[in-house]
């Protein structure tokens, strides 16, 4: 049921013809009423619904009883007697009539079938022919036509053809080839790029596809919009063959206007550390906060940290490392630099620098290896662990009054000591992991045995976890065996060049008993306090000789 509202009755007829064609009266029943404000309200009901729904006509009933309130038989006899050419009219109504209505925009076509007196329904070909005769040649729904015939759908307007709207164009766009900062959530690695790397590419525009009306008219489409890629190439980038490429190695990022830039310095803050655990950047890295936890930070050039570094952190730099707040490794942390390392303090960590290591206060229970020198200023204390350098170790005090074992060595083979320290450090981490896994496996097995068969899903999960942990433990065991072999294969290579460097240990104040000093392989363990002095190989040998004579 539909409702039409209008101010004038002529508008009603116009709308009826537009919706149902000139013979609308054969399709629908119309009830007209007027609202209080004078608006004409037309209620439209399909004739089939109006005539048959809710009524059951018996074959033996008199036709007068079907239409209540009128002597229909007498009325029909009188009406028929006035029709001219009755026989021709009867022939006209023998076959079904097909009415085609095309919407004003020619995007839809409908058919209404009035059954014939002799032949009730048309054929598929007759329906298509009627549509074609009305100009409908596109989008005809043959399955709907078949349904109309099979289900004898008469006296109702049915949609049988639809045009095709034009496809929208696709404007040119930028496809970024790296994860932009706002997408970092959940990533393991921070974005970086190398010189010449493609950072973004322009996807060319695509024109829309024209549509068609049911009468076959083409509906024009629009063209996709293009843009100049150069306006999106920002700092340290260039455009090559519809692509934006990095002009330098660094950190790529996108500004608010969609332009691509490359920073030659990567700035890492607290929020970045919350989102990401691994940072590998070809340029300089600046960390503006403390670093505590299992982070991996690798810089192609310098690395500056304005805070304390602690825990199982692994830091590497192709240049210098500067740690403002000091390094507390907890037996797991590692700092390596191809340049020098400057740090406020070192505690329970491994620090390796190809050049110099400058410590602001103290080195305690740590492994420190320098390709040139280790200098401890300020409090100037070296206590516990191993401090090694090729040329020089300098400190105010070495060891303490309690005789804590402390090793200081100069004239080392830097490559040998570095490789040995790295392998040893990795072995310690692997042993810790293996111990943890063994504990987890035991706990999981105990829990698994307590689960009943009714917890089959949980048992499957437990089995899966146990298998995965056992597999990881086997991987660790294999890696440990490989590292053990590598450690055995390491060879110390002493060269005459080291003698020319005249390696020294400088004690500015006190060296306590229990300290082992080694110069070019010659070792001496102090049994008493030594005052300020500079020791080279010759002086160390003389010290040993003097103490032997006494």
The closest of 523, 528, 525, 535 to 513, measured between CA atoms, is 528
Based on C-alpha coordinates, what's the Rg of the chain? 46
Residue 104 burial (CB count, 10 A): 8
Give the CA distances from residue 379 to residues 324, 364, 395, 476, in Å, rounded to whole numbers and listed in that order: 16, 12, 9, 41
* Residue, of 191 and 223, whose pLDDT is higher: 223
* Residue, of 299 and 73, whose pLDDT is higher: 299
pLDDT given at position 78: 56
For residue 121, the SS3 value is coil
Query: Kind and range of the H or E element at 34?
Result: strand 28-34
**Could you write out the three-class secondary structure of 58-116?**
CCCCCHHHHCCCCCHHHHHHHHHHCCCCHHHHHHHCCCCEEEEEECCCCCEEEEEEECC
* Longest alpha-carbon distance in the chain: 157
Residues near 160 by beta carbon (within 8 Å), at least 6 away in sequence: 109, 110, 111, 127, 131, 140, 141, 144, 145, 148
The domain limits of the chain are: 1-82, 173-263, 421-489
pLDDT given at position 448: 79
- Measured in whole angstroms, the distance separating CA 354 from the mean position of its chain's CA atoms is 38
pLDDT given at position 10: 73
**pLDDT tens profile 144-177:** 999 999 999 988 889 999 999 999 999 999 999 8
Residues near 205 by beta carbon (within 8 Å), at least 6 away in sequence: 169, 170, 171, 172, 223, 224, 225, 226
pLDDT given at position 387: 97
* Residue, of 27 and 108, whose pLDDT is higher: 108
At 245, phi and psi to the nearest 5?
A: -120, 155
pLDDT given at position 205: 95
The closest of 514, 546, 542, 507 to 528, measured between CA atoms, is 514
Q: Which pTM does this prediction carry? A: 0.58
Q: Could you identify the residue written with the tokens 């040119």?
A: 172
334 within 8 A of 425, measured Cβ to Cβ: yes
pLDDT given at position 495: 58
CATH architecture classification, 421-489? Up-down Bundle (1.20)
**pLDDT tens profile 322-368:** 999 899 999 999 999 999 999 999 999 999 999 999 999 999 999 99
For residue 528, give the DSSP letter. Answer: S
Q: Which range, of 213-227, 256-270, 428-442, 455-469, averages the lowest pLDDT?
A: 455-469
Residue 136 burial (CB count, 10 A): 26
**Could you write out the three-class secondary structure of 386-413?**
EEEECCEEEEEEECCCCCCCEEEEECCC
- pLDDT value at 181 more than 60: no
- pLDDT value at 48 more than 80: no
The mean pLDDT value of the chain amounts to 85
**pLDDT tens profile 310-322:** 999 999 999 999 9
Query: Kind and range of the H or E element at 522?
Result: strand 522-525
Q: What share of the chain in percent tops pLDDT 90?
A: 53
**Please, what is the angle between helix 124-133 and helix 142-150, to 10°?**
130
222 within 8 A of 205, measured Cβ to Cβ: no
Residues near 462 by beta carbon (within 8 Å), at least 6 away in sequence: 444, 447, 448, 451
Q: Which range, of 16-30, 258-272, 340-354, 506-520, averages the lowest pLDDT?
A: 16-30
41 within 8 A of 3, measured Cβ to Cβ: yes
pLDDT given at position 365: 95
At 391, phi and psi to the nearest 5?
A: -110, -45
């Amino acid at each position: 049921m539909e409702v039409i509202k209008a101010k004038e009755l002529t508008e009603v007829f116009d709308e009826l013809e537009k919706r149902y064609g000139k013979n609308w009266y054969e399709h629908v029943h119309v009830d007209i009423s007027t609202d209080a404000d004078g608006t004409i309200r037309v209620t439209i009901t399909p004739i089939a619904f109006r005539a048959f729904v809710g009524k059951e006509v018996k074959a033996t009933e008199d036709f007068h009883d079907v239409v209540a309130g009128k002597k229909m038989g007498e009325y029909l006899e009188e009406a028929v007697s006035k029709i001219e050419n009755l026989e021709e009219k009867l022939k006209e109504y023998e076959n079904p009539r097909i009415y085609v209505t095309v919407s004003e925009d020619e995007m839809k076509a409908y058919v209404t079938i009035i059954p014939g007196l002799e032949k009730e329904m048309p054929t598929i070909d007759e329906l298509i022919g009627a549509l074609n005769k009305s100009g409908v040649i596109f989008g005809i729904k043959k399955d709907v036509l078949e349904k109309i015939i099979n289900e004898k759908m008469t006296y109702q307007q049915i949609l049988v053809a639809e045009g095709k709207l034009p496809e929208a164009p696709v404007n040119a766009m930028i496809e970024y080839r790296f994860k932009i900062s706002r997408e970092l959530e959940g990533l393991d690695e921070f974005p970086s790029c190398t010189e010449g790397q493609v950072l973004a590419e322009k996807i060319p525009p695509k024109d829309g596809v024209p549509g068609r009306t049911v009468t076959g008219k083409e509906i024009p489409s629009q063209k996709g919009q293009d843009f100049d890629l150069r306006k999106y190439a920002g700092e340290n980038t260039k455009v090559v063959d519809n692509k934006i490429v990095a002009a330098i190695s660094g950190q790529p990022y996108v500004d608010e206007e969609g332009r691509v830039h490359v920073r030659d310095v990567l700035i890492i803050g607290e929020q970045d550390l919350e989102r990401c655990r691994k940072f590998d950047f070809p340029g300089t890295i600046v960390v503006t906060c403390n670093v505590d936890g299992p982070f991996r930070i690798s810089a192609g050039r310098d690395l500056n940290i304005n805070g304390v570094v602690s825990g199982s952190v692994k830091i590497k730099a192709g240049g210098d490392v500067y740690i403002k707040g000091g390094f507390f490794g907890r037996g797991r942390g590692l700092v390596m630099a191809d340049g020098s390392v400057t740090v406020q303090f070192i505690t329970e960590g491994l620090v390796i620098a190809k050049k110099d290591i400058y410590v602001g206060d103290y080195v305690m229970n740590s492994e420190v290896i320098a390709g040139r020198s280790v200098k401890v200023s300020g409090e100037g204390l070296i206590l516990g662990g191993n401090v090694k350098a090729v040329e020089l170790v300098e400190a105010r005090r070495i060891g303490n009054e309690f005789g804590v074992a402390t090793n200081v060595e100069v004239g080392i083979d830097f490559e040998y000591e570095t490789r040995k320290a790295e392998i040893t450090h990795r072995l310690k981490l692997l042993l810790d992991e293996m111990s943890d896994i063994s504990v987890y496996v035991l706990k999981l097995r105990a829990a698994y045995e307590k689960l009943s068969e009714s917890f089959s899903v949980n048992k499957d999960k437990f089995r899966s976890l146990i298998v995965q942990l056992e597999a990881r433990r086997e991987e660790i065991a294999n890696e440990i065996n490989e590292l053990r072999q590598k450690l055995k294969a390491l060879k110390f290579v002493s060269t005459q060049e080291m003698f020319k460097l005249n390696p020294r240990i400088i004690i500015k104040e006190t060296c306590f008993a229990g300290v082992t000093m080694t110069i070019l392989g010659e070792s001496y363990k102090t049994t008493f306090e030594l005052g300020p002095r500079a020791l080279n190989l010759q002086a160390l040998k003389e010290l040993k000789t003097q103490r032997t004579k006494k």
